[in-house]
Chain A
């Protein structure tokens, strides 16, 4: 068994809401509630879930872009949550992020070259290496030096996302967090970026944390998938197992909800009724019980823990476990 690259232990993140100081009842958004997972070197771990489930917050907490409320993020035997911001800056070279909207993550007033030089400058690379490194990286992501003097608005969405990937990889990180990297792109361009990410990973041996709401994209790129619901992991396991034998009822419903080409849905059947409850006041017991088709009274009272349901597959449900045994 290889050592994990990153160990997330019991991670909790609460965002306090303004107001309530008079009555002493401060309200809190429970964004993450006790997340524990490992990311192994060289793997691509996908995180899926609906909006507000905490998948983006988890990515940001791992990179320490958000201060965690409690819990640990262990990287290279060091707990990142205890580091000073100066010590963190050194670590950040090893973990980079690509955001959803490339036009928003590149400064509109800087040329592509200026944006690409900045990380090298920050991390004290010798100046004579800057341009050769940038040239080599641009070739890797399928662009050329002719793009260096352009401004972001002069490039297309697909080209900009290639630039964002190049910028993240310039520092030769071990971990790349990809937060919805293809959601702002059209299908034909999305395919180009997915192919690029897949090639780069195998070529350089990168580790990916791939965050997306789009199950088919996550399935395509990930070795393992974690399914999140309201700040918790509902199920995690190998991609094939999650897709072919989902054991958590939420995973099952999510898979059925995705519109697929060549499938006509029975019009009287929607996989899930109701809405995602508010993370300010999450349901008691199992957080999914308000929408779960197989919920019983136990689910309202007791919170299920992640339990093993197959080889490397874990599910947090009181009932699926019994069914599979």
Chain B
């Protein structure tokens, strides 16, 4: 098996007083070694919860109700708590959106990094420090001795996010799940962090699952990408193909809604309506209520995923019927 990670038919639901809220419905995707895989979608589409489910970090009352998560061919959902604790950090690490809330404000950076490192290795204090300083340096931080001795609030947002990346990398994982890693940062800092992630993949063969709402970010750094809508993968394709030739009406709508340079003053193509509140309860296609190309079949049953090319798939009846639509 060449895939590093494979998610098969994942279903995630939250039990609420008003019944079960199904936030991920039949999500399948795979990540190859050394690639950045972009998971795109709007708020509430289930992209973060999918990322968290890989490490079994979904907050209660959420739970995985069905599906398999294969990491190097082994199902993570069958691992014990103890085994999972080793996999987290050692094999798969995570970077969150807001670095300031992810770092502990009362411990110095060096201390927080060495806690992680020494949990996953037998290094003594001195060796650990050496390793940490080297790691801080490799994520592009200046003056690493000072940063080692700093508290999180003494660093800027970009520096904090670099520390988080260093922390994720310190035990040499093969997969990093990055949940909106640049959303809290300014554009010039975002550009620096994206470049860093890309270089890590190219140089060390690490894979990244990049969760984002920003199609521009997908375009810049991702190799392949999946678009999520209301808990379903509606389209999967190489990133450039997805953006140049989107097949699912939702992907097309998302792209058309972006304000683009050179189209000043023109009316943007907004997607009318809003996301359904409980998509798990919908019988037909989840996008049917907002889709400009909708017809009877869409309300009757959920479309399967149909191939556009061998690498490009979309969950839309129009693709099945081979109707090209732009």
Contacts and interface: CB of A to CB of B under 8 A. Distances in A.
B307 to A, nearest CB: 24
A91 interface: no
B258 to A, nearest CB: 6
Contacts of B43: 186
A188 B191 contact: no
B187 A265 contact: no
B191 A271 contact: yes
A269 B195 contact: yes
A219 B216 contact: no
Nearest to B212: A259
A46 to B, nearest CB: 11
Interface in B237-289: 240, 243-244, 253-255, 257-261, 263-265, 267-272, 274
A253 B198 CA distance: 20
Interface in A273-293: 273, 275-276
B274 A158 contact: yes
Contacts of B274: 156, 158, 189
A27 interface: no
Contacts of B221: 265
* Chain A interface residue bracket vs B: 35 or more
B302 interface: no
Contact of B264 (A219, A254, A269): A219
B293 to A, nearest CB: 16
A132 interface: no
Interface residues of B, number: 47
B259 A194 contact: yes
Interface string A125-139: 000000000000000
Contact of A195 (B192, B199, B268): B268
Contacts, number: 126
A109 to B, nearest CB: 23
Contacts of A263: 219-220
A269 B195 CA distance: 7
A217 B258 CA distance: 9
Nearest to A194: B268
Contact of A187 (B217, B220, B257): B257
Interface in A40-70: 50-51
A216 B191 contact: no
B190 interface: yes
A13 to B, nearest CB: 21
Contact of B258 (A192, A216, A239, A270): A216
B233 interface: no
A243 interface: yes
A33 interface: no
Contacts of A268: 195, 199
A50 B259 contact: no
A195 B159 CA distance: 37
A254 B191 CA distance: 10
A261 B258 contact: yes
A259 B270 contact: no
List the 3 closest A-B pairs by CB distance, nearest first: A259-B216, A191-B257, A191-B270
Interface of A: 50-51, 156, 158, 186-192, 194-195, 198, 213, 215-217, 219-220, 239-240, 243, 253-254, 256-265, 267-273, 275-276
Given A188-B42, A194-B268, A270-B191, 10 more contacts: A50-B187, A186-B43, A187-B213, A213-B186, A213-B187, A259-B219, A261-B218, A263-B220, A267-B195, A268-B199
